[in-house]
Amino acid sequence: MTTVTPSSEAAPNPMPHRRRWWFYLRRGLMVVAILFVALVLLGVTYQTAATEIDKRTYPPRGQLYNVNGHQMHMVCMGEGSPTVILQAGGVAESLWWYWVQNELAVHTKVCAFDRPGLGWSEAVSGMRDPATILSELHALLAEANVPPPYLMAGHSYGGLLTRLYAAQYPQEIKGIVLVDAFVVGMHPQDFGDKREVDALIAQYDWLRILLYAQTRTGLIRLANPGEFHKAGYPAPIASELTALQLRNEVMDTDFAEKVTALWALIETSAKADNLGNLPVILLWGSLSDMTKERNTALLKETFTYSSNSVTRYVEGADHLSILGTERYARQITDAVLDMIATTQTGKPLSQ
């Protein structure tokens, strides 16, 4: 009988190979994590340093006023009455009105301001609902000694706020010009209750996180497409507008104004649908996304704001170039001058 003697060489143990595989995977993941953290820190440092350089390069163009314990910026030009108040839209600053303000200053006093967290105004925490925003503007005008009566012009989201201001302070407003104005298009009755709006807002949390990350790490600077240069602003103004847009607080403020405060926005807007016979001029860029709804009930809603309103289209203009291109902006200036003439003569507006 033959006896098989076990080989003196043991069978290879697979465990060391497995350990080497896991060891290298862990090391690779650790390297990736370290590189990611390093890039984030580098981006945050870049954003912080670039923002400080921008602040020194582009100091406030107007005056800073103390409003409810924080600094608000407003720049006024020209002389005369009524004073024209220019309100910028979401993620927008007073400088967006560059062409219009300079042109109007030849005829009357015209002031453009920055809401808290935008332009040169100090960012604030807390609710950015319409009631708060409107009361801040009212206090700013008083603090700056800019008495009524006013004509107001608002672009985009600023157009909505302009309409709401006219409804809240009717004794101060002689007329309003709404430029490619944001329309809420929703009313409280469109929702079962506030919880439905809260659920809608919660869906935007991922967007908020994404925007927060993009701004804080400087990615938004690298991806900036130079939209202000394309819109028609002079090169120095376009560069200044770009720098103002890249500050951390801009996106935070826009989210707080239009998303977090959505329910308050809807409620307040619904109460300001009837401005009586207040002169209202509605201006739309013919190429703007806003005018794609010109034949819908949403856009037709704006026709009911006042019994003394007219609608005009700026041919060739889109949502930004309507302010940024001089020949388009001049049509806004003309609309404001028409409004001034109407307030002086008492005659209804004409197309």
What are the boundaries of each domain within the chain? Answer: 58-345
Name the residue type at position 332. Answer: I
Pick 265 or 212 by higher pLDDT. 265
Work out the average pLDDT over 74-81. Answer: 96
Question: What is the predicted pLDDT for the residue at 29?
Answer: 76
CA-wise closest residue to 252 among 197, 215, 224, 198: 215
Superfamily of domain 58-345: Alpha/Beta hydrolase fold, catalytic domain (3.40.50.1820)
Question: What is the predicted pLDDT for the residue at 178?
Answer: 94
Question: What is the predicted pLDDT for the residue at 208?
Answer: 72
pLDDT exceeds cutoff 80 at 69: yes
Q: What is the pTM of this model?
A: 0.85
Q: What is the mean pLDDT of the chain?
A: 84
Name the residue type at position 128. Answer: R
State how far the Cα of 211 lies from the Cα of 89, in Å rounded to an integer: 18
pLDDT exceeds cutoff 70 at 149: yes
Pick 269 or 293 by higher pLDDT. 269
3-class SS of residue 247: coil
Radius of gyration of the chain (CA): 27
Strand 150-155 versus strand 83-87 pairing type? parallel
Cis peptide before 116 (omega within 30 of 0): no
pLDDT exceeds cutoff 90 at 30: no
Taking only the tens place, the pLDDT of each residue in 51-67 is: 788 889 999 999 999 99
CA 146 to chain centre: 25
pLDDT exceeds cutoff 90 at 288: no
Task: Identify the DSSP state of 259.
Answer: I
Exposed, middle or buried, 148 (CB in 10 Å: 0-12/13-18/19+)?
Answer: middle
Sheet containing 309-314: give its strands across: 63-67, 70-77, 110-113, 83-87, 150-155, 173-179, 280-285, 309-314
Opening angle at CA 152, ends 270 and 63, nearest 5: 120
State how far the Cα of 18 lies from the Cα of 197, in Å rounded to an integer: 53
